[in-house]
Amino acid sequence: MSFQHTLATPVSCAGIGLHSGKCVTLTLRPAPADAGIVFVRSDLGGARVSATARNVVDTSLATKLSHRGVRVSTVEHILAALHGLGVDNAVVELDAEEVPIMDGSAAPFVVLIRAAGIREQRKARRILVIARTVQVKDGDKLAELRPSDRFRVSYTIDFEHPSISTQFFDYRHSESAFERDLSRARTFGFLHEVEALQAMGLAQGGSLDNAVVVGADAILNVEGLRFSDEFVRHKVLDAIGDLSLAGFRIAGHLLAKKAGHSMNQALLAELFSNRDNYRIVEGAFEAELPAPQPLSVLENAVA
């Protein structure tokens, strides 16, 4: 039996918003079973926004939530960290609209969650089991969820830049794999795009301290990359945060090519559009599921 988990104690950190450039304090607090992840705006009298797909209002540059006029933005990294470490229920309290970007990865949030501790709750987890394949496409972009006995992500990116090019990463979820293989992968952007965004009043908090910045023919960060394929790993990290907005642990296999926040949410919408696409079970499940596909087959599927 798999049980729900929350935090053992409250814990806080502070940083700046990537787009707003404003200082913000974030506090993680325990929450009761079945509460899910809830954002609380302390600067707005404790207004609450649940981390669910129905509250997604914008996916340009980051994933943004809103409920009854209360907005929370850039939620994907903290959601990925909570989901990746098995935290089902938590309050994320902010004193501003945007989650702090920290170093551009989920690693600082992993440290925060580890410091708080994780406590088991005597309530079974609910698992969303993919019953049949669902897919969304946009030109050569693809996002697809297939039946699987576990949560798995196979992701391909393709950029016409010598520092990135084509990268593929196959991730099979566990807490240790998330912390080791994904949590430190940072967000990235191209110098000319960053400059254009800042001229528009966006990315005001962006710097080489919280993003991998790609110049015309090289990476500008002096320390270089944390992984040779850090770019695609970060895309997997984002996808985990975005898909956590399903509100359940997912037993399914995400295949993605050149996708992003928008397609991740479109995929969830497609999934929930037909009740035959999934089933929800408590604690554990038994099903006739296909054997895991060889890596070569997956690479061809998203090529």
Q: Active-site positions?
A: 261
- End-to-end CA gap in the chain: 38
Query: For residue 130, how many C-alpha atoms fall within 13 Å in the half-sphere facing its CB?
Result: 26
Show the CA angle centred on residue 109, arms to residues 107 and 112, nearest 5°.
Answer: 115
C-alpha distances in angstroms, 47 versus 17, 43, 50, 97? 19, 8, 10, 11
- CA 257 to CA 201: how far, in whole Å? 30
Burial (CB count within 10 angstroms: exposed 0-12, middle 13-18, buried 19+), residue 68? exposed
- CA 237 to CA 105: how far, in whole Å? 9
* Number of Cβ within a 10 Å radius of residue 134: 21
What are the beta bridge partners of residue 169? Answer: 155
